Structure 1
Amino acid sequence: MEYFTITLITILVSAVAITLQVFFFSPISPDLLELPPSPPFFTPNNHLQKVIKLGEGILKQPEDVFMDKKGVLYTATRDGWIIRLHKNGTIENWKKMHNRHTLLGLIKTRGGDLIVCDTEEGLIKVSEDGDVTSLATHLNGESIRFADDVAEAPDGSLYFSVASTKYGLHEWHLDFLEAKPHGQLLKYDPFTKETTLVLDGLGFANGVAVSMDQEFLVVCESMKFRCLKYWLKDEKRGKVEIFIENLPGSPDNIKLAPDGSFWVALLQFSSNKMKFIHSSKAIKHLLATFPKLFEQIKATGRSAMVMNIGSDGRIIKTLDDPNGKVVSFVTSVLEFEGNLYLGSLKNDFIGKLPLESVL
């Protein structure tokens, strides 16, 4: 009887302790989130299982990829390197930025400078000679803490996303669980060297790309399963429209294709498990308090999907690896000279997919 009493007291004390930890010391203040009710159904096609692995075992989770006009591919890895893959197959450790896991989106400007998003240091410029300059580190006196992706506008301005103004890179899951719009789209003017707010209240702002006619840009809202169109020119300048919504995954990076369409990488956050999580604040508190539970539930590392979207916002084609057999957690997709190049936050290579193999 005494053993039973002690066991019961232990269980009750543990239950109270967990309850207090979850509901009174939770790191988030969550909202409920309605995921897309009926995203388009796509028959798995396994096309991404045909990828050729570039730099396998050398590249550490290359999140984004960019190709210059000469066909040199740039990527940033989790160990703080900017790496170049040359057309002859050689891999060059070009610039060591630091030892942190904070480098995300990158582009090369028309002037030849590399622009990199650093989630701790903001927007950074790396010249052809490797000289590093901080461009945008603060907005209205506050540090820019989660710069995510960047695109260059016709006038040389740099538009870049801030995924969250509340949480950093290593707390990204808390932003998703909290489900509040902490994201922004910012603009850096290289002439005045000023950083200004363009759009606020975005649901985990992610990929940014400018249209071929340079009349608008598209910014992805990962949390809202949609992309927005922001007009850059003429009478529509500054207006915002929905470019595409109800996507079958969370849009990550987006890239302009040679024909004027866009390629976007989609992360799998729309599963039935995630729908259940977003329907309960109590479960959100629990997962925020015990992040290893969230790691077991999220499915981003178990599959891969990329989508080609026309400049009119209509879906053209979808390619996937539904079981993550060859490639998974694809975060960026770039088309260049008849091939797709895939970045990832899980793989140790860049995937190369000849488009002729999936036509």
Structure 2
Amino acid sequence: MERKSRCQTFSMMMERKSRCQTFSRESVHFADAVIEGSDGSIYFTDASMRFGLHEWHLDVLEAKPRGRLLKYDPQTWKTSNLLDNLAFTNGVALSPEQDFLVVCESWKYRCPEYWLTGKQMTEVFIDNLPGGPDNINLAPDGTFFIALIKLGLGGYKEFVHKPKLVKRVIAKSPALFHWIFNTRGKATVINVEIHGKIINYLDDSKGKVMSFATSATEFEDHLYLGNLNTSFIGKLRSQKAKK
């Protein structure tokens, strides 16, 4: 009986895995960020439908919106597409009341909001940011912390009309890409209130302490900063972060 039970469990797991991997559109190529709703729904981003984790810099060089916001329903085991044609969908967060989602659209320097109630419409939460929004996290006080990637030379907009030859040369070397855009030379985090207004701005413009910050999470009166360029996690008192 025990062996039969284990076999049945394994069979159900494999079936569930199969259902999670397929849905009405293309398979997930670059799963980036995820958040779970109180009803068990899983919301996650597919940053690029063409490039993977180690090729993310090629997405900005191509300058085409290939990102998506997806939802997995644990009751039906189905994944649905909520938003597409997004310019590198990165972080995602639920509002305090869980009535809308905020998603980071990195290469367009903005964060759309997708309403889960009513007509499920899409609006701009915040745009014209001083950098590409990477990850977003809800703070205990109902505000959001958003880490920004500071791309030099105009970032995404700079490469929309660049000749293909220039893009190909840069694409061959990730190190050249980082050197040109200076992505690892600074760190920026903003604190945004529920209506999309910036209420605080944290910046290490020369990267003396922290550089290439990709996330900011508040926990027990401290702000923890994740990054892709140093061997440590930054820690800052939240009173100082929100002064």
Q: In structure 1, what is the equivalent of residue 223 of structure 2? A: 340
Q: In structure 2, what is the equivalent of residue 209 of structure 1? A: 93
Quote the offset at 1:291 in angstroms. 4.0
Q: In structure 2, what is the equivalent of residue 355 of structure 1? A: 238
Amino acid at match of 2:23: L
Separation of aligned partners in 1, 2:175 and 2:136: 29
The structure in which a higher percent of residues are helix is: 2
Q: Within the alignment, does 1:327 sit opposite 2:207 as a pair?
A: no
Unpaired segments ≥5 residues, structure 2 = 1-15
Separation of aligned partners in 2, 1:164 and 1:136: 18
Larger radius of gyration: 1
Quote the offset at 1:293 in angstroms. 2.5
Which 10-residue stretch deviates more, 140-149 or 238-247? 140-149
CA offsets 1:259-283 (integer angstroms, 9 cap, x no match): 11100000011x2364654442242
Distance 1:352 1:291, change over 3 A: closer
Separation of aligned partners in 1, 2:103 and 2:40: 18
Q: In structure 1, what is the equivalent of residue 45 of structure 2? A: 161
Separation of aligned partners in 2, 1:220 and 1:207: 5
Coordinate RMSD, CA, aligned: 1.9
Amino acid at match of 1:205: T
Quote the offset at 1:286 in angstroms. 2.5
Distance 1:317 1:137, change over 3 A: same
Q: In structure 1, what is the equivalent of residue 21 of structure 2? A: 137
Amino acid at match of 2:41: S
Match of 2:191 among 296, 303, 308: 308
Q: In structure 2, what is the equivalent of residue 173 of structure 1? A: 57
CA contact (8 A) 2:184 2:212 kept: yes
Quote the offset at 1:290 in angstroms. 4.3
CA contact (8 A) 1:278 1:284 kept: no
Where relative contact order (Cα < 8 A, 6+ residues apart) is larger, the structure is 1
State TM-score, norm by structure 2.
0.86
Q: In structure 1, what is the equivalent of residue 144 of structure 2? A: 262
Separation of aligned partners in 2, 1:338 and 1:276: 39
Distance 1:141 1:247, change over 3 A: closer
CA offsets 1:241-299 (integer angstroms, 9 cap, x no match): 00000000000110011111100000011x23646544422422321244442232122
CA contact (8 A) 1:185 1:197 kept: yes
Unpaired segments ≥5 residues, structure 1 = 1-132
Quote the offset at 1:347 in angstroms. 1.8
Match of 1:272 among 147, 153, 160: 153
State TM-score, norm by structure 1.
0.59
Separation of aligned partners in 1, 2:65 and 2:154: 22
Q: In structure 1, what is the equivalent of residue 68 of structure 2? A: 184
Separation of aligned partners in 2, 1:141 and 1:260: 34
CA contact (8 A) 2:153 2:181 kept: no
Separation of aligned partners in 1, 2:45 and 2:56: 14
Identity %: 52
Separation of aligned partners in 2, 1:277 and 1:162: 22
